[in-house]
Amino acid sequence: MKIEAVLRCVAISIIGLLCAQADSNAQPVAAYPTKPIRIIVPYAPGGPSDMLGRTVGQALTEAWGQPAIIENRAGAAGDVGTTAAANAPADGYTLNIVGISFAVAPSLKRKLEYDPDRDFVPITLVATINNLLVVNPSFTVKSVKELIAVARMRPNEVTFMSGGVGGGQHLAGELFNSMAGIKMTHVPYKGTGPGLTALLGGEVVSAFADMVATLPIVKSGRLRALAVTGPKRSPLIPELPTIAEAGLPGYAVTLWFGLLAPAGTRADIVSRINSAIAKGLTKPQTKERLTMLGADPVGNTPEQFRVFLGAEREKWARTVKAAGIQAE
| 135 and 238 share one domain | yes
| Model pLDDT, residue 15 | 47
Asked whether residue 265 carries a pLDDT value surpassing 70, the answer given is yes
| 172 and 307 share one domain | no
Does residue 275 lie within any of the structural domains?
A: yes
| 136 and 237 share one domain | yes
Q: What is the CATH number of the domain that holds 193?
A: 3.40.190.10
According to DSSP, the β-strands at 206-210 and 120-135 are antiparallel
The band of 31, judged by pLDDT with boundaries at 50, 70 and 90, is confident
| Model pLDDT, residue 153 | 97
Write down which residue in 212, 246, 280 finishes a domain. Answer: 246
Does residue 78 lie within any of the structural domains?
A: yes
Q: What percent of the chain has pLDDT over 90?
A: 71
Per-residue pLDDT of 271-302, as tens digits, reads 999 999 999 999 999 988 888 888 899 999 99
Does residue 315 lie within any of the structural domains?
A: yes
β-sheet bridge partners, residue 41 = 72
Q: What is the CATH number of the domain that holds 265?
A: 3.40.190.150
3-state helix, strand, coil in the chain (%, to 5): 50, 20, 35
Indicate the average pLDDT of the chain. 89
What is the average pLDDT across 173-180? 96
Does residue 102 lie within any of the structural domains?
A: yes
Q: How far, CA to CA in Å, does 282 sit from each of 127, 286, 289, 297, 298?
A: 12, 7, 11, 8, 9
The count of domains in the chain is 2
Asked whether residue 174 carries a pLDDT value surpassing 50, the answer given is yes
Asked whether residue 247 carries a pLDDT value surpassing 70, the answer given is yes
Per-residue pLDDT of 98-137, as tens digits, reads 999 899 999 887 689 999 999 999 999 999 998 999 999 9
| Model pLDDT, residue 280 | 96
Burial of 114-145, coded b for 16+ CB within 10 Å and e otherwise, reads bebeebbbbbbbbbbbbbbbbbbeebebeebe
CB neighbour class for 94 (10 Å; exposed up to 12, middle 13-18, buried from 19): buried
Which domain range does residue 316 map to?
Answer: 36-129+254-323
| 135 and 177 share one domain | yes
CB neighbour class for 25 (10 Å; exposed up to 12, middle 13-18, buried from 19): exposed
| 241 and 260 share one domain | no
Write down which residue in 199, 227, 246 finishes a domain. Answer: 246
Contact (CB, 8 A) for 29 and 85: no
Does residue 281 lie within any of the structural domains?
A: yes
Does residue 121 lie within any of the structural domains?
A: yes
| 145 and 119 share one domain | no
| 72 and 118 share one domain | yes
Contact (CB, 8 A) for 94 and 262: yes
What is the average pLDDT across 39-57? 89
β-sheet bridge partners, residue 162 = 188
| Model pLDDT, residue 3 | 53
Does residue 26 lie within any of the structural domains?
A: no
Asked whether residue 155 carries a pLDDT value surpassing 50, the answer given is yes
| 164 and 56 share one domain | no
Measured distance CA(117)–CA(158) in Å, rounded: 38
Write down which residue in 215, 246, 277 finishes a domain. Answer: 246
| pTM (global) more than 0.85 | no
| 283 and 137 share one domain | no
| 86 and 183 share one domain | no
| 83 and 106 share one domain | yes
| 124 and 261 share one domain | yes
